[in-house]
Structure 1
Amino acid sequence: MLPADVKYAELTDAGLPDQLCLTWVREPDIDEVARRFGADPTSKEWADDDRIADLEEDYRAELIHLVTIGDWTLALAPNGYQGSRSEVMESVSARGRAFSVYWSAAMDTAVIFAVDGVVQTEFDLAEVDERTGADLSALDPLLAELGVRDELSLPELQARCLAMGERLSGALVPPGWLRSPRHVFKIVDPLPDAIVPPAYLNPRAPFLDEPEIARVLADPSPAMAPAVNRQIATTVIAIAGIEDPIAGEVLRLLDTGERFPGERQELRDRLIRESDAAIDQANSLGGGPEADRVKVTANALAILHGTLWPEPAEAASAASMQVASMKVPNRIDFMRLIVLRNVSEHIMRARRADR
């Protein structure tokens, strides 16, 4: 048995979770690392297993466990995934290096290496040779040294990727840490996704250069919330092909505001009634293309209800969160809604930071 396999067996016996995200960060200040993960440094607790179990039950968002080893901090998320996100790895590596290994119970996996805020290379354990990033060869010497290749079993790949993190950092995962009291933080403000996913840039999605979208992307600040909100509204109206006058009323109210007190709430109530009626109609149809079309209309009406929250940033956030439930038949429209949702997330985070 190779040393990497022996260490993996030791860690498994010591309580290595079946699902985890383990990240090495070249930064010894654990409060700073927690902040870069989107955690609240003031939420730090020195917790044993019983207390951690209570936190996991009471706190439905993600927890990370941190320990300092020399010049590095090791971050474990037993049921989380933040370290598998490019945005997080760019953040935690901003002044140095970071390496992360992730696998879930559903066998989603990721290995990411970032330097100075740039993801150098990233791959899935199921496709080691299919790497992406700024430098696809950044890990080649270690991959060769540890014999990481597609033909290995998943446990062998997991063992060698954990060993890769230890080799890169010199920070060995202490088996006793996995069952000892440790510092635990709450992820209270997850870093938002990149506004434009990289896949939309190569080739470049043409809608990104439309004047209104380009204006929002040039300044994704809270001042753009009304424009984002209106773009969400016009997009879902077009997707669903809503010709009912209620769609025009929504757009007019977004443009000019209420003509009389209570108009906004009256319109929101009508949208919910019509959405509920469309859901009932779709259910009565049982299935098929017509039922799917009516469901899209029901979802669009519910999203328009969200756009009419009084405060534009909160309205855009409420509407964009409902976008995930809408079956969008056209890929370009789907991409447009994803970008608008990501802008909304950045706006909400900026507002929280200003408070």
Structure 2
Amino acid sequence: MCITWCRGKSADEVARLFGGEPVDAELKTLDEAFDEASEADKDEDDDEAVRPPVILIGELGEWTVVLEPYGGQGVRPLVLQTLSEGGGRALSFKWTVNLDTIFFYAVNGLRIAGFDLLDPPARPGGDADEIEELVEDLPKSLESGLILAERITGQRLDSAWLSRRHRRMFMVNPIRHARPWLLEAAFGHPMLDSAELRPLVATAPTPDRLPFIIASALDIAMRENAPQDISDDPVVAEAMAALRDRPGAAECERLNGRLTEVAHRFRAQTTDGVRDPLARMDQFSTLNALAAAFIPDLATAAFQTVRAVRQLRWLDVETRLRLSVLAGCVHFIRKSTGAIS
């Protein structure tokens, strides 16, 4: 089940952002909505008979509450971002029978907190300073979602509210984002507004952005907490200098071959009594990324470079997300230019 709170938009606006049509709404209890959602699952063999997902929408103080018996639209980054745009706020949490749980909070179009309800952090991270105290002492249970929602909204979603009839709608037209090159998991993340990524994701990326993508991925691989001693290798030094002004195809092919040889030499050393063989594997991945940057075909070079960097062990969650954004842009460019179908 998924429950979403939104403040700053009318209930009808919220309904439409979830894909519902207010004119088709009927008053139902939560139990009735669950029954209808369950009935929809019984017709899986008949496409025409399958009902769209069910949502139940009601108001609670200044907030609009959306309940999805078997859905999860509310925790989609795009939905949260859109619900909170224009100075609004939106929060949503979801849990499943397998005890998979997630909580998200967005303010003014930016997702500022997200975490597992069964393992709430001491600090929510991101820009969520305003709810840091609210996260304290949360129980590691499903009810923590309702507790935190009440702390943020000042409204209690109690049994009386849940037992009343609210507007039931079907999600006939769920919101779709207009930027297919952008990984939806990154929607609303503050990093998209950074000086580095904003020019890349604001409009559809084109092939002229591929060198930037390669440089961004390599910057991650070569940064302070990545393996450092590979920079002492003369072939690596030559390649790093060549990156500033990408050479022609023949020189790219030569550098790619030499860097591949260096990478395999480092990999062989992982079994030669090296103190930290896993660190050597990180060096191997970094060298693979650098070698990939000189594949003559630029689109393939970008794809393979990002792919190699994503294999590094030390990457934190935000860095992995950043690389996923770069990978999504490369995929979009390759697809839009016919490099892949």
Q: 1:75 to 1:230 in 2, by over 3 A?
A: farther
Residue 91 of structure 2 aligns to a residue whose secondary structure is strand
Q: Tell me what 2:90 maps to.
A: 98
Deviations 1:20-58 (A, max 9, x none): x54345564666446xxxxxxxxxxxx9436879x9xxx
Residue 192 of structure 1 pairs with residue 186 of structure 2: yes
Per the TM alignment, residue 279 of structure 1 is displaced from its structure 2 partner at its CA by 3.4
Q: Tell me what 2:246 maps to.
A: 256
| Contact 2:18/2:173, CA 8 A, preserved across alignment | no
Deviations 1:94-150 (A, max 9, x none): 15442211457897755444454256877764559856756736997xxxxxxx983
Q: Tell me what 1:40 maps to.
A: none
Question: What is the correspondence of 1:1-355 to structure 2 with a 5 Å cutoff?
Answer: 16=1, 22-24=3-5, 28=12, 32-33=17-18, 48-49=40-41, 67=55, 69=57, 74=66, 83=75, 89-95=80-86, 96-103=88-95, 110-117=102-109, 125=117, 126-127=119-120, 136=130, 150=137, 152=139, 154-158=141-145, 160=147, 167=156, 189-192=183-186, 194=189, 196=191, 216=196, 219-220=199-200, 222=205, 225-233=210-218, 236=221, 239-242=227-230, 243-245=233-235, 248-249=238-239, 251-252=241-242, 255-260=245-250, 264=252, 267-268=255-256, 271-272=259-260, 275-276=263-264, 278-282=266-270, 284-285=271-272, 289-308=275-294, 315-316=301-302, 318-328=304-314, 341=323, 344=326
Structure 2: how far apart are the matches of 1:272 and 1:151?
50
CA RMSD of aligned residues (A): 5.9
Residue 246 of structure 2 aligns to which amino acid in structure 1? T
| Contact 2:94/2:103, CA 8 A, preserved across alignment | yes
| Contact 2:150/2:156, CA 8 A, preserved across alignment | yes
Structure 2: how far apart are the matches of 1:70 and 1:244?
66
Structure 2: how far apart are the matches of 1:271 and 1:50?
57
Residue 299 of structure 1 aligns to which amino acid in structure 2? S
Residue 320 of structure 1 aligns to which amino acid in structure 2? V
Residue 150 of structure 1 aligns to a residue whose secondary structure is coil
Q: Which has the higher helix share?
A: 1
Structure 2: how far apart are the matches of 1:73 and 1:353?
39
Q: 1:172 to 1:335 in 2, by over 3 A?
A: closer
| Contact 1:48/1:181, CA 8 A, preserved across alignment | no
Structure 2: how far apart are the matches of 1:100 and 1:231?
32
Residue 154 of structure 1 aligns to a residue whose secondary structure is coil
Per the TM alignment, residue 296 of structure 1 is displaced from its structure 2 partner at its CA by 2.0
| Contact 2:200/2:209, CA 8 A, preserved across alignment | yes
TM-score w.r.t. the length of structure 1 is: 0.51
Deviations 1:264-294 (A, max 9, x none): 4565466556545543442x34x75342342
The alignment of Structure 1 onto Structure 2 pairs a total of residues equal to 282
Identity among equivalent positions (%) equals 19
Structure 1: how far apart are the matches of 2:310 and 2:333?
23
Structure 2: how far apart are the matches of 1:77 and 1:186?
18
Structure 2: how far apart are the matches of 1:82 and 1:273?
49
| Contact 1:28/1:68, CA 8 A, preserved across alignment | no
Structure 2: how far apart are the matches of 1:259 and 1:121?
45
Q: 1:350 to 1:233 in 2, by over 3 A?
A: same
Q: 1:122 to 1:340 in 2, by over 3 A?
A: closer
| Contact 1:275/1:302, CA 8 A, preserved across alignment | yes
| Contact 2:267/2:281, CA 8 A, preserved across alignment | yes
In structure 2, runs of 5+ residues without a counterpart are 20-38
Q: 1:278 to 1:28 in 2, by over 3 A?
A: farther
